[in-house]
Structure 1
């Protein structure tokens, strides 16, 4: 397969993947079957798109850059912002594959994972994402230092699949990338309403460098029932189980 590329647009954060072996590894890890519905975010010049469509006819791509239409005209692609896409239009079961600009990684995860879970919208069977290597390492560490990391750990498992060096892109970004796999797997007890728990996490992690005691002040709750050594910790030192216990103690 001939790798296609074009002039990247800096304002879209475009870096086109040009390594055929990496493209093949993404497809292998996606385990696409003929009956699968695949949503691809950022199909770009269709290098990965072509391989996906060799596996299944049930495909939808979302591309914000309509100047890429000549590369994508043979595929089912909508030219719109993936962050504005109505997830309720997706089937109940689908796979999400995305090679996205680093700066929208968190919004993508919020939209397609967190909001889907909170609002009972269709959830992806799993997500295969190209992200910044440092971001991937933070997501897969046991230490959760911010709201996004903890929120994702509540509802999904994250697996670091492999590293993609910057030289495999055109133009080459300044840092290496990584492919991660995110599989929904809710770990919150069923008797906890996740929307309320997520609101609690937003307050708890409002300032990760401050103590838990300081961050929880806006709740105006009696904190005397919480051990003092816990209150002196920073949110980044809490496990998911710790967060759940803390929430239950205050509700």
Structure 2
């Protein structure tokens, strides 16, 4: 960075990774080969982009910081399979960009990113809501968030984010990355998580994804409260509706005294479907 007279910007959550062995392991975790189109979110100084360019068919980098564009142009000048766009990924039409910028838009599409900690969840949810069928999403994130994404039912890390990911993807924690591997050094450790499209469809079909996500958010609104208390958000002071909601749980053999982290995604889907059928949600 000093070569270009630049400093990391806190406003963009910039922490640059330069350890070549870790960069190579990220490419390996994403299983990138010459058949792949890769979107890199926030290429930064281009260290990971170089590794991606050597492994992938084509790479498109989306960089929000215009001060880094000249750096990327310089660093990536040896590669003719890389395009850097001045874009905010949260506002970008990724489906349109894939059609416009890749020579083979029908090829497998993978996302690789070192995500700013403060917008990890919005970026992930934006990717999952996109119409694009991602073959793999491989992201660096805060270790705490990585543990939540890959948490098992019944653990304290298990929550709404875990379930939102599980609806469409299989999450795997590939490896941890020490805070000492970044410049400037963040206050927490990181981890690489890979998300692949589910190999097995969910056992409960069909379901309205947005409706189930809304129910999950209601149930996890107060983690220390049980399901009966959290579901009061649906019934309010209506005693009959409250009783009907509890009857739905009883019918599904779900204990209303359970906390939300004890329920599997399939149980939330069954609950959401039956509540909807009974005009309760």
Question: Normalising by the residue count of structure 2, what TM-score does the alignment of the two structures yield?
Answer: 0.80
Of 135, 145, 150, 1:135 maps to 145
SS in structure 2 opposite 1:82? coil
**1:180 equivalenced with 2:193 (yes/no):** yes
Residue 69 of structure 1 pairs with residue 69 of structure 2: yes
Match status 1:85 vs 2:92 = yes
Q: Match for residue 155 of structure 1?
A: 168
How far off its partner does 1:229 sit? Answer: 6.6
DSSP-derived class of the 1:202 partner: helix
Per the TM alignment, residue 125 of structure 1 is displaced from its structure 2 partner at its CA by 0.5
Alignment check: 8 A CA contact 1:188 1:194 kept: no
Take 1:148 and 1:109, find their aligned partners in 2: how far apart are those partners?
Answer: 10
3-state DSSP of counterpart to 2:269? helix
Cα offset, 1:146, TM superposition: 2.5
Structure 1 residue aligned with 2:119: 104
Q: Which residue matches 1:167?
A: 180
Q: Distance in 1 between matches of 2:55 and 2:219?
A: 44
What is the aligned counterpart of 2:249 among 222, 226, 236? 226
> Who is 1:213 aligned against?
228
Measure, in 2, the Cα distance between the counterparts of 1:139 and 1:110.
Answer: 12
Structure 1 residue ranges, 4+ long, deviating more than 6 angstroms after superposition = none
2:10 corresponds to 1:10: yes
Cα distance in 2 for partners of 1:238, 1:65 equals 42
1:145 is aligned to 158
Query: Quick check: which has more Rg, 1 or 2?
Result: 2
- Quick one: structure 1 residues 219 and 6, their matched pair in 2 at CA, closer, same or farther if it must change by over 3 Å? same
1:196 maps to 2:211: yes
Instruction: Kindly state the Cα deviation for residue 130 of structure 1 after the two structures are TM-superposed.
Output: 0.3
Tell me how far apart the structure 2 counterparts of residues 189 and 22 of structure 1 sit (CA, whole Å). Answer: 39
Q: Is the 8 A contact 2:63 2:69 kept in 1?
A: no
In the alignment of these two chains, the number of paired residues is 244
SS of the aligned residue for 2:39 comes to strand
Q: Which runs of 5+ in 1 are unaligned?
A: none
Distance of 2:203 and 2:187 partners within structure 1: 38
Deviation track 1:80-128 (CA, whole Å, cap 9, x = no partner) reads 2111111221345400000011111101111001x12xxxx01210111
* Matched residue, 1:35: 35
| SS of residue matched to 1:14 | coil
Instruction: Say if 1:189 and 1:225 are closer, same or farther in 2 by CA, change over 3 A.
Output: closer
Unaligned runs of 5+ in 2: 99-104, 236-240
Q: Which moved more, 1:48-57 or 1:140-149?
A: 140-149
User: d(CA) in 1 for partners of 2:270 and 2:5?
Assistant: 50
How much is the aligned-residue C-alpha RMSD, in angstroms? 2.3
